[in-house]
Chain A
Amino acid sequence: MTGAVDSDIRDDTGTARPEMVRAENVHKSFGHLDVLKGIDLVVGTGEVSVVIGPSGSGKSTFLRCVNHLEKINSGRIFVDGDLIGYRQHGDKLHELREKEVAAQRRSIGMVFQRFNLFPHMTALANVMEAPCRVKRQSKAQARERAVALLERVGLSDKVSNYPGQLSGGQQQRVAIARALAMEPKLMLFDEPTSALDPELVGEVLDVMKDLARDGMTMIVVTHEIGFAREVGDSLIFMDGGVVVESGAPREVLADPKHDRTKAFLAKVL
């Protein structure tokens, strides 16, 4: 299970699972504002980690550090064994070149709160863009795969629509398909449903549950406690730039150990 760095990762049968994400003592500040103050975290392959916490606690910032959209000030982040953003020579760190950073990002999909679809491209073109440009797949090959992905998220009838012609829930599902098109090892979700009308939340969560069942490793920042309880392998409560409490979702939700967790859960449940 996910938890402190030193704890073993074991699945239900007790055998160790390889770890997908390892964050060690991650610090991040913006100017004088310390946002992350030592995050330790391990996510095993195929696990779903749900991150909750009050606004401003650094949840988005941490996700953005994992694919190097933000540079961390100290600590280490590894994804599938690769140090993110740097190369270590002896005890010296070298920044990776832009190309190498891009290569690392290819295997990490990210879904944003505000979708960030490319508005000048159709749903299909949004999904095809990265496979064509980054993986240099042929148009036909990328199209075939994009159509299949859009079908998987239930949008086979919307392939030629522009984002502006889609509902919020549909846009977010296209965004998920777009991230999946790069066949990532890890998916990061930053409050994927909080910009949606309540009746559209379910359709996006269903896609995510489906992904989880297929064994995708996911870190999900969300306020959907029901989702955490149902598909989460671990629940991480962040506040003030640190992980306050983490553990199996049912345990943390039913019996939070820390006062801050209790106070937060009292508000959202």
Chain B
Amino acid sequence: MTTQIQQQPERVRPEPIKAVPVRHPGRWVTAVVVVVLSAMFVHLLLTNKHFEWSFIFSDSGQGQPGVMFLRPVLDGLVGTIELTITSMLIGVALGVVIAIMRLSPNRILAGAAWVYTWVFRAIPRLVLAILFGNLGILWARIGFGLPFGKQIGALFGMHDFSGQIFSIKASELLTGFVAGMLALGLSEAAYMAEIVRAGIQSIDVGQSEAASALGLSRGQVLRRIVLPQAMRVIVPPTGNETIAMVKDTSLVAYVPVGRELFFQLSAVGTRTFQVLPVLVGACLWYLILCSVLMIGQYFVERHFGRGYGTGGRARRRLRDLSVESSGRIVLTDGNGKEPAL
């Protein structure tokens, strides 16, 4: 016997489900604990007069503005920003070159890249900074020319032959800022090289095969196809590196370079014996710099996330942070509205 299922012309839609949601008492307890701890922390900050908030923000004595906004401190801030930008530019540009060398079929290029990475990752940045500050002791002049030029000249009896194409005084080239920039940038290049290499290697070989099958040259394949895709892998750790670099610029005080945020702030601290407020001021400046970089990173990630599910990963990173046109950073819920507090 066969049963016929009667298809109703219009099926009645069942009632929407109204279920009692699962309760999460643990989350509530945790939230309360966090709120209480935060309140205690704020209390600590506001009531302990050793923080000297007015000294930090508004009045550092003798009619001067707060310590965060003193002329030399602001000058140091600009120096820190300049150092971060220039050393990261050197790091990224050189890093890409070294990564490409490392992946080259030419053994000598690959080997040289390996040695570079090995050396500059091994030496602490602090040591590099001091070393670059003192290179003038090693060589009075820095030049570009034949290796062993003088020795070769002597071999042929030409004692005035040096093989130098050009040279300048070391103390002129390696002024504090340049020495610090080179120490940080060259060291950064070693780390960036590894990041870029990992990024390039994460791209399916099918991509470069498809591109070269279309007749693109090796350079075009790299520039147009491989690197833009690798950027998705490269950008997040590069953001990390940049933020780390902001903080590492404080090492150039040992070159010595004076035009740098932390050096200037600690100088004020030593002079006025207000050590703690000065440290808090430094923390605040570094926090601000870091926040700006995180926002920048969000937009860069979104750009290189094209074609990959609308960059959801980057968006989640800064999920609840948005910037008003006035530059104010506001907390929003997922729909871009300010949550009712």
Contact = CB atoms under 8 A, between A and B. Distances in A.
B167 interface: no
B210 interface: yes
Interface of A: 67, 69, 98-99, 102-103, 105-106, 108-110, 112, 114, 116-122, 129-130, 133-134, 162-164, 175, 178-179, 182
Interface residues of B, number: 23
A120 B229 CA distance: 7
A211 B207 CA distance: 24
A182 B206 contact: no
A99 B217 contact: yes
Interface string B305-319: 011110000000000
A106 B215 contact: yes
B215 A103 contact: yes
A187 B304 CA distance: 32
B218 interface: yes
A134 B209 contact: no
A164 B212 contact: no
A62 to B, nearest CB: 15
B224 interface: yes
Contacts of B204: 116
Contact of B307 (A99, A112, A114, A163): A163
26 contacts: A69-B212, A102-B216, A102-B217, A105-B213, A105-B214, A105-B215, A109-B213, A112-B209, A112-B210, A116-B206, A118-B210, A118-B229, A119-B229, A119-B307, A119-B308, A129-B211, A130-B215, A130-B216, A133-B224, A134-B216, A162-B307, A163-B307, A164-B307, A164-B309, A179-B214, A182-B215
A118 B225 contact: yes
Given A114-B206, A118-B207, A182 B225 contact: no
Interface of B: 204, 206-207, 209-218, 220, 224-225, 228-229, 304, 306-309
A106 B220 CA distance: 14
Contact of B213 (A69, A99, A114, A163): A69
Contacts, number: 75
Given A116-B207, A119-B229, A120-B229, A164 B213 contact: no
A134 B308 contact: no
Contacts of B309: 164
Nearest to B219: A98
A121 B210 contact: no
Nearest to B210: A116
Contact of B306 (A120, A129, A178): A120
Secondary structure call for the B interface:
helix
B214 A178 contact: yes
Nearest to B215: A106
Nearest to B214: A130
A164 B308 contact: yes
Given A112-B206, A121-B307, A164-B309, A67 B228 contact: no
Contacts of B304: 120
Nearest to A69: B209
A105 B212 contact: yes
B220 A116 contact: no
Given A120-B228, A120-B229, A182 B214 contact: yes
A250 B18 CA distance: 64
Contacts of A178: 214
Contact of A129 (B209, B214, B218, B307): B214
B182 to A, nearest CB: 34
Contact of A120 (B215, B217, B307): B307
A103 B215 CA distance: 6
Contacts of B217: 98-99, 102
Contacts of A120: 228-229, 304, 306-308
A114 B206 CA distance: 8
A105 B304 CA distance: 29
